[in-house]
Amino acid sequence: MAAGAVHQVRLPAGFIDKSGNIQRDAQVRAMSASELMALMREDTRANFARMIDAVLVSCVADVAGEKVTKATCDRLYGPDRDFLATEIRRLSKGDILETRTSCPHCKNSVPHTYDLSKVAIVTLWPPESVDDDDDSWRDSVVPHEIRDVFGNRHICAHVQVPEHDVDGWFRLPNGEDAHRVAAIVEKNPVEAMLKTYRATVAEWNGKPCGKVSPRAFEELPLPTLEALDAAYAAAMPGYVFDEEVVCPRCSNVIEANVSTSDFFFPLRDERNRPGGPKRRRS
């Protein structure tokens, strides 16, 4: 790892160590010019999971006191991977992030600017110290449970859409899940989404993961699937990139799109690549 000022951060999710404790502390630093140049390689930039691995191995000094390796990247939950990449981006290029989103109505490329210092961050954990009469923190914490999923202990998020009879628990997706769908997420995002649900479901409408039909999600009506997608995204911790913009061409209000794969590169006129931090408030 190249020399540079190291900054302490707290992961919004964390991971369960061998002793069963939740570990959330990490140290990050800014990216160097040579590391940015390495990210510009087409084979790395074209695969967002591989790109995030490269950023984390280079610029995360440690997680819970341990050196970060490819195995660490695979084990880290997706919300923490995206959070660390965002923190490294802030240290490397500042808090102003310019994006472009393709308007679904008229296909216009709509610009938007985020100030990352003002973007809300939600976690799975209440503050370590808080006044008894202060419940303002509750809006920045999402519910979770520690559950057994196929014999392993995982942090799981609760996903509910009562109007569609959806009630499920999903372990947080990790780096291995990101690599599993990286090759298809751009060409077929629906297939990538369904693969992630199948891999991470812990309980679905009262059935434990081992008894959930392999086609449970494929057979959902499209409105239910879209509602599940929104609720799933809202249940994930991390930065909340849910700002809306008005398309100057057709005046429709659309949700701004943020892609980790464009964090470290100049803004391009074409639509952002898929993947990366995408969390919406329900």
Q: Is the pLDDT of residue 282 over 70?
A: no
Q: Is the pLDDT of residue 129 over 90?
A: no
pLDDT at 270: 39
272: confidence class by pLDDT, cuts 50, 70, 90? very low
Q: What is the DSSP string of 163-203?
A: GGTEEEEEEPPBHHHHHHHTTTTTT-HHHHHHHHHHHHEEE
- Reference 225, options 142, 156, 186, 168; nearest CA is 168
**Collapsing DSSP states into helix, strand and coil, what is residue 88?**
helix
d(CA 72, CA 31): 19
d(CA 250, CA 278): 24
Q: What pTM was estimated for this model as a whole?
A: 0.88
Query: Contact 225/216 with Cβ under 8 angstroms?
Result: no
Whole-number percent of the chain with pLDDT over 70: 88
d(CA 9, CA 171): 23
Instruction: Dig out the tokens for 242 from the structure.
Output: 């849910």
Condensed to tens digits (0 to 9), the pLDDT of residues 185-244 reads: 888 999 999 999 999 999 999 999 989 998 999 999 999 999 999 999 999 999 998 899
Instruction: Dig out the tokens for 206 from the structure.
Output: 């009262």
**Residue at token pair 């991390």:** 238
| Residue 112: CB atoms within 10 Å | 19
